[in-house]
Amino acid sequence: MPRLIRIDWPDTGLPDLPPDLTLAECRARLAAVRRAMLARGQTALVIYGDREHAANLHWLTGFDPRFEEAVLVVTAQDALLLAGNECLPYTGISPLVGAGDVRTGLCSSLSLPSQPRPGRRLSDWLAEAVPAGAAVGMVGWKWFDPAEVDDPAQALSVPSFLADPVRKIAASVVDATDLFMHPGHGLRARVGAEDIARLEFANQLAARALTRMTFALREGMTDFDAYRAAQVEGLPMGCHSTFATGARADQGLSGPTGQVLRRGSPLSFNICHWGSNICRSGWLAFGADDLPAGARDYLEVFAGPYVAAMSDWCALMQPGVAGGEVWSAMQQALPFDRFGLFLNPGHLIGLDEWMSSPIYEGSTEPLASGMALQMDVIPGNAVYASTRMEDGYVIADEALRADLAARFPAVAARCAARADFMRGVIGMDVPEALLPLADTCGIVAPWMLDPGQVIAL
């Protein structure tokens, strides 16, 4: 049976800075993209990115457009990165640009409205970079299924001002976004030791900020005061920080709006850096007596069973387990009529908060070593509100764990310590293959005004 214990939350400290993306990594990724492109019979890839949808472009080049758009054209022998007025100098952050493997060009149409428009038009750049009559794969930020659109191959998640001129040049243009993002074969869907070190740094910074905010919560403070206490440390955000309580309690994606924290109100909040989203939900309370009368069995019938289900989730996070098996296990452990699970119970995470997921009804996609996953299982109930244990993990087989330990021993040791805490203190079933990336992993504090009380099994 779930129970409450009083503990000090784990604190492994601030990790050392992770390694920057190297030229060797970028060259290996560019070579992999070219192999995948040619294997599909495509002679060019056109990759689109903007402020919100920069993950594919950044993964390949180390460059992301800041408040502008960017386009990368890749062929077997050439790569051209087009950026706007203000982002063009920033392309130098890319190791590929610095080494001359990717050339750059100013395309002012990718800039903000009313700025100067010197130089060549986008259509002129594309006519130079995309071979006439080519078979082109277009990479946007999501792909579509046959149930959604009549012709998924022609449904491009890029602006028409890019798609239209490419279609005039090429013999064929088809969506190729899955080449990067698909949970089974996407090039971004597996990470190595360097990526794990970077992910752990982002997850730990987000977790530390969320922990500071949690322990600062006081009745009568505003949500602005609470968020200020997080002391967010400056890494780019993967999504808007949320803080939903009071009149905004049912609007989970709301940020701070000046709501006053009242005892007996539900609360949910998150800190999301690239590669991480640390989120918690519970009640502004010291104990069950502070809750509305109908919700006072929250611990026994809602939050406790949720923690037990997350233990089951962890146990399934091993190479070879079918995603559909995870989906079915969560539906059984957390029945819809009480817990209201709608979204996938877990998904891949990258620079984008949600890349894709192998976990869905009927999925035969196997979980695999190198998958970076978000424990993102979101219950909701009109009486009990919600609870949450949303953190990042990596599935790592013995070979990947050995590589991590050899190259980043401190990262491997922190992940092992967190797994030991989850097993020994919380009582969760954490396999050796699952690497917890943040000190918050395993912690659910149902009473947010007394967060030293956490649920154990």
pLDDT digits (tens, 9 = 90+) for 268-300: 999 999 999 999 999 999 999 999 999 999 999
**Token pair for 307:** 């923690």
Cα 189 to Cα 183: distance, rounded to the nearest angstrom? 6
**Residue 232 banded pLDDT, cuts 50, 70, 90:** very high
Residue for token pair 């078979």: 135
Higher confidence at residue 86 or residue 254? 86
Q: Where are the domains of the chain?
A: 3-16+190-456, 41-175
pLDDT at 240 over 90: no
Tokens of 414: 């922190």
pLDDT number for residue 254? 86
The pLDDT value recorded for residue 247 is 84
Question: Over the stretch 318-360, which tens digit does the pLDDT of each residue have?
Answer: 999 999 999 999 999 999 999 999 999 999 999 999 999 999 9
Whole-model pTM: value is 0.96
- Which band of pLDDT confidence, cut at 50, 70 and 90, is reported for residue 187? very high
**Residue-wise pLDDT tens digits, 137-161:** 999 999 999 999 999 999 999 999 9
pLDDT, residue 82, reads 98
- 3-state SS, residue 103: strand
Q: According to the model, what pLDDT value does residue 377 have?
A: 97
Question: What homologous superfamily is domain 41-175 in, according to CATH?
Answer: Creatinase/prolidase N-terminal domain (3.40.350.10)
**Beta-strand runs (E) in 171-311:** 172-175, 243-245, 265-271, 278-284
pLDDT > 90? residue 253: no
Give which of 230, 191, 189, 218 is closest to 440, Cα–Cα: 230
pLDDT of 2 > 90? The answer is: no
Segments of 308-457 assigned E as strands: 347-348, 372-374, 392-395, 434-436, 453-456
pLDDT, mean of residues 47-64: 97
| Burial (0-12, 13-18, 19+ Cβ within 10 Å), 133 | exposed
Count CB atoms within 10 A of the CB of residue 294.
Answer: 10
Asked if the domains 3-16+190-456 and 41-175 are classified in one and the same CATH topology, the answer is no
- 253 CB-near residues (< 8 Å, 6+ apart): 240, 242, 244
CA dist., res. 373 & res. 367, Å (int): 10
Tens of pLDDT along 106-115? 999 999 999 9
Domain 3-16+190-456: CATH class, spelled out: alpha beta
